[in-house]
Structure 1
Amino acid sequence: MDFKHVKEYFAWLYYQYQIISCCAVMEPWEQSMLNTILLTIFAMVVYTAYVFIPIHIRLAWEFFSKLCGYHSTTSS
């Protein structure tokens, strides 16, 4: 893919974000405030998913393996 097309695609995505979140009609300080809040929320969601989803998957695997009669040889 050409670099120009990728750059235009990201510019289009950013424009869509501005239209959907109404950033296009905000003042610059309001845009930066909203972007900071949204970025913080997104970072917290990603971190929480990274920390807790593997634990829940492991616990669900242990539960269903015991339910189906499969016993693991490793002890937790």
Structure 2
Amino acid sequence: MFDNATANINNMLSHTGYTPKRLELLANNQPNQTTIAPYYNINVNGVDSPHEAAALTGESVQRANAILVRNLQTKVS
């Protein structure tokens, strides 16, 4: 019973659509999907305490795009 187990397993794998070779080909055909997350380096100056700095930076990621756009518009015009 166990003598033919490897042959049976190999036979079953070769008749499926997902053999190791097929999986390798499918993986190579997939386009690279890269997620680009913005990285903000935010410096907060003129605050008295770390708590105040944390409060100021808490909303900065949401506002960063608007600030950057405004700065770009200022430089262009």
- State whether TM-score is above 0.5: no
Q: Which has the larger radius of gyration?
A: 2
TM-score normalised per structure 2: 0.29
Instruction: Answer 1 or 2: higher relative contact order, Cα 8 Å, separation at least 6.
Output: 2
TM-score by length of 1: 0.29
Question: Normalized per residue, which structure has more helix?
Answer: 1
